[in-house]
């Protein structure tokens, strides 16, 4: 089975490296999808060797397969390479190492079994659309991006028919990384990856409780048995390695991600992952726009009382929106009754999404990443698009149906949009 990685920025490179280090290469392969032929040639020139640096120590890994994102360009590239090889005698240095080999894999139009998407949020939908001819209902897509709302757009705009929808895994990444050079990633901050499987539209329960064996239960009969998730809920032992199972790629993807010990990757119930995603969303909706607007490192936000006030307000607004969403999903009472319960602290939303918990998480992350430059600040500096619509924009959209005022969150959203349309630091004074 092959694992395709789309998006070779810091996170995509980090995941690719650890997949290469942990997978059994006799059974599985990691395929890097490059933007264009130039990037592919550059990867070939370094023999598809990924470098990951941690505290000055560089570890390397090599993958044998690469592709070009555009299939038409991929085919033209293969024809050109074939002609080149027919005209030139092979040398000791393989200049096509890592290139997609149609002779070995029949056709570049073969279905993609597992696709790990580590792109900017605003590029995911169009990128997945471009790969539709190679995706099937048995494929598995892992969404590994900042912000929220991408999965909803994919379901609404791309995979409307639940029966024809691939399996989806959503993940929350808390690792800090940046690219020092081409194929050279610095793992600046060790965190974790938490992922969960989106509910199966066909009705299969991936989270059926499985009791872990624990010798302590024998000595303490009052101890509650531990519950865990099991791969057997995806593909049962009876099904084994049945290649015809519609859940085979999902099973193998979950197994591969779970084995990424170097990234502290853990499979959790989707409700747990959703809460983690919302907490990170709020953190991103605070740190990213503020640092992008101020042009400062994360830690400098703690030096300002005004910044602390903004953090408090965004967390309060987000908490109210999450609480209203929880009440809506549970179908409890009318809007007036829901608002009363939220104000009185009786909301059924997760305790981890309270205003105090969200603010505490924001401050913790700011301290832990004090010396870091946020991804949004980096985007603003180079005049690139930002993911603000999938951060603050998502929160504003979430609150809109409930008539909640998101004044501070909306202001940050509009200021970042203004900041990217008027690059003040490029103004030349005469």
Is residue 126 left, alpha or beta, with left meaning phi > 0 and alpha meaning psi from -120 to 50? alpha
CA distance 131 to 178: 27
pLDDT digits (tens, 9 = 90+) for 181-215: 999 999 988 999 999 999 999 889 999 876 555 44
pLDDT of 89 higher than 70: no
Share of the chain above pLDDT 70, in %: 79
Hey, what domains does the chain have and what are their CATH numbers? 2-204+246-268 (3.40.50.720), 273-420 (1.10.1040.10)
Q: Average the pLDDT over 33-54 and give the result.
A: 90
Closest CA to 116 of 186, 190, 166, 176: 166
3-class secondary-structure state, position 325: helix
What's the pLDDT tens digit per position in 334-373?
A: 555 545 444 433 445 688 999 999 999 999 999 999 999 9
Q: What is the pLDDT at residue 170?
A: 97
Could you give the C-alpha distances from 281 to 23, 194, 385, 408, in angstroms and in order? Answer: 31, 14, 18, 15
Residue 394 has pLDDT above 90, yes or no: yes
pLDDT the model gives residue 259? 96
Residue 91 has pLDDT above 70, yes or no: no
Measured distance between the N- and C-terminal CA atoms of the chain, rounded to whole angstroms: 61
Tokens standing for 386? 């930002």
Q: Is 194 exposed, middle or buried (0-12, 13-18, 19+ CB in 10 A)?
A: buried
Q: Is the dihedral of CA 67, 71, 73, 75 positive or negative?
A: positive
Mean pLDDT of the chain: 84
pTM: 0.84
Tokens of 36: 């264009």
Query: ∠ CA(50), CA(53), CA(59), 5° rounding?
Result: 55
Q: Which pLDDT band holds residue 76 (cuts at 50, 70, 90)?
A: low
pLDDT tens digits for 143-194?
999 999 999 999 999 999 999 999 999 999 999 999 999 999 999 889 999 9
What is the structure's pLDDT at 94?
Answer: 37
Q: Which residues contact 298 (CB under 8 A, 6 or more apart)?
A: 287, 291, 365, 366, 369, 370, 371, 372, 373, 374
Residue 103: what pLDDT? 35
Examine the pLDDT at 64 and tell me if it is beyond 80: no
Nearest CA among 264, 92, 138, 99 for reference residue 189: 264
The pLDDT score that the predictor gives to residue 97 is: 37
**Distance, CA of 273 to CA of 171 (rounded, Å):** 7
CB 68 within 8 A of CB 34: yes
Closest residue by Cα to residue 391 from 367, 412, 369, 407: 412
């Amino acid at each position: 089975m092959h694992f395709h990685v789309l998006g070779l920025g810091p996170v995509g490179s980090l995941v690719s490296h650890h997949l290469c280090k942990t997978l059994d290469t006799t059974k599985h392969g990691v395929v890097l999808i490059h933007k264009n032929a130039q990037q592919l040639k550059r990867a070939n020139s370094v023999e598809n060797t990924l470098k990951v640096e941690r505290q000055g120590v560089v570890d390397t890994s090599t993958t044998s397969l690469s592709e070009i994102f555009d299939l038409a360009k991929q085919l033209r590239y293969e024809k050109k390479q074939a002609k080149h090889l027919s005209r030139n005698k092979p040398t000791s240095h393989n200049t096509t190492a890592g290139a997609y080999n149609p002779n070995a894999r029949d056709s570049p139009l073969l279905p993609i079994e597992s696709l790990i998407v580590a792109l900017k949020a605003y590029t995911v939908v169009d990128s997945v659309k471009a790969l539709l001819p190679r995706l099937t209902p048995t494929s598995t897509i892992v969404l590994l991006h900042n912000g929220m709302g991408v999965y909803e757009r994919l379901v609404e705009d791309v995979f409307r028919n639940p029966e024809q929808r691939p399996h989806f895994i959503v993940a929350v990444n808390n690792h800090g990384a940046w690219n020092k050079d081409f194929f050279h990633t610095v793992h600046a901050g060790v965190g974790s990856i938490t992922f969960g499987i989106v509910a199966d539209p066909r009705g299969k329960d991936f989270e059926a409780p499985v009791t872990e064996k624990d010798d302590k239960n024998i000595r303490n009969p009052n101890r509650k048995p531990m519950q865990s998730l099991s791969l057997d809920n995806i593909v049962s032992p009876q099904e084994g390695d049945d290649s015809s199972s519609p859940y085979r790629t999902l099973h193998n993807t979950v197994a591969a991600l779970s084995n990424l010990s170097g990234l502290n990757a853990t499979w959790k119930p989707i409700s747990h992952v959703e809460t983690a995603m919302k907490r990170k969303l709020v953190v991103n909706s605070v740190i990213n726009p503020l640092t992008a607007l101020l042009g400062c490192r994360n830690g400098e936000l703690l030096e300002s009382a005004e910044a602390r006030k903004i953090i408090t307000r965004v967390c309060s607004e987000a908490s109210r929106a999450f609480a209203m969403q929880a009440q809506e999903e549970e179908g409890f009472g009318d809007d007036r009754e829901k608002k009363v319960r939220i104000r009185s602290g009786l909301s059924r939303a997760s305790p981890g999404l309270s205003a105090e918990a969200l603010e505490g998480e924001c401050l913790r992350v700011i301290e832990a990443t004090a010396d870091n430059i946020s991804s949004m600040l980096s985007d603003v500096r180079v005049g690139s698009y930002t993911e603000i619509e999938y951060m603050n924009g998502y929160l504003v959209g979430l609150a809109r149906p409930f008539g909640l005022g998101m004044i501070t969150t909306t202001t940050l959203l509009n200021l970042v949009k203004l900041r990217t349309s008027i690059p003040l630091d490029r103004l030349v004074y005469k």
